[in-house]
A = this chain, B = another copy of it.
Amino acid sequence: MKHVTMIGTGLIGASVGLALRDAGFSGTITGIDASGEELTVAEQAGAISASARNPEAHAEAISASDVVVLAVPVLAILDWMGRIQPHLREGALVTDAGSTKAQIAVRAREMGMDFLPGHPMAGKERGGAALAEGSLFRGAPWIFTPLHPTTPLEQEWRDWVGKFGARVIDLDPERHDKLCAWVSHLPQMVSTAMTALLEDEIGDDADLRAIGGRALREMTRLGASPYSMWRDIALTNEVPIADTLLALEQRLQHMRENLKTLELREEFGKANEFKSRS
C-alpha cells in the first residue's frame, strides 16, 4: 500500500489519515470531500498529502490508488461505490467506515468489487476535520464484515488498523447491523424520543430546568445528535432498529402496568445483572 485515496475528510477520514501517519505510513494520501474547506483543514493538519478537487482529479487519484477509503455517510458510500468503480485499478482494495454494513455488503457483492466493509466505532459529538485526531481509534472496536477470505492487501489494511490501536473484530454484516441496533441505534433513538417528548411537554418550564440533574442530562445527551448523522442509519437499518424499538415499547408498557407489583423488582434485578457483567 503506497497510494491511498480518502473519500470524506471529516472527523473520521481525517483521523484515519492522521492515524496512518502516526503509525508510520509514508505513502500518499489524496483527499476528496464535498467541502473544499474540510479538504483544506485536513491537508493543513497533515491528514492528507494532497487534495483532488474536481471529477478529473478524483478519477486520477482513484486510478492511482492501492486502497480507497470511503469515510462518508452510508448513502454517500453506496453512491461513491458506483462512481469509483470505473476508475479502480486491477487489485485495488476499497474499504469504508460506514455505520451500517448489510446494504453496503450486498452492493459490493453485486458489483464484484474487492471491498472490505469496515466500521470504526469511534467518534465525537461534533464532526469535522478540525477535531480529527490520530488517536481517535485507540482502544475502540473496529469491526470488519469480510465478504471473502482475507487477501494480502486486506491483511495489510487490517495491520494498519491494528497499529491505530483499534480492537479488530470480525462479524457477519447482518449480525453487525443487529448488534449495532441494540448497542448504538436503540440508545440513540430512545434518547432522541425522550428528549423530543420533554421539549413538547415541558421545554419552556423554568422550574423543570432548575431541578433536572445528572440523570436528565445524561439520558438526553444524545438528544443533541443531528438528524444528518442518523438519517442514513435509520434508512439502511430500519428493520433491526424497528425491532428493538418495538421490544422496548412492550417493556415500558409492562413496567407501567407493574409499578406497584413485584414485577418491577424483576426489572430492576435484570438491569442490575446486566450492569454487574460490565
Contacts and interface: CB of A to CB of B under 8 A. Distances in A.
A224 B275 CA distance: 6
Contacts of A242: 256, 259
Contact of A179 (B202, B235, B260): B202
Classify the secondary structure of A's interface with B. helix
Contact of A251 (B193, B203, B238): B193
A2 interface: no
Interface string A196-208: 1111111101011
A1 to B, nearest CB: 26
Contacts of A276: 224
Nearest to A223: B271
Interface residues of A, number: 88
A245 B266 CA distance: 18
A136 to B, nearest CB: 12
Interface of A: 121-122, 140-141, 143, 167, 169, 171, 175, 179-180, 182-184, 186-203, 205, 207-213, 215-227, 230-231, 234-235, 238, 241-242, 245-249, 251-256, 259-260, 264-278
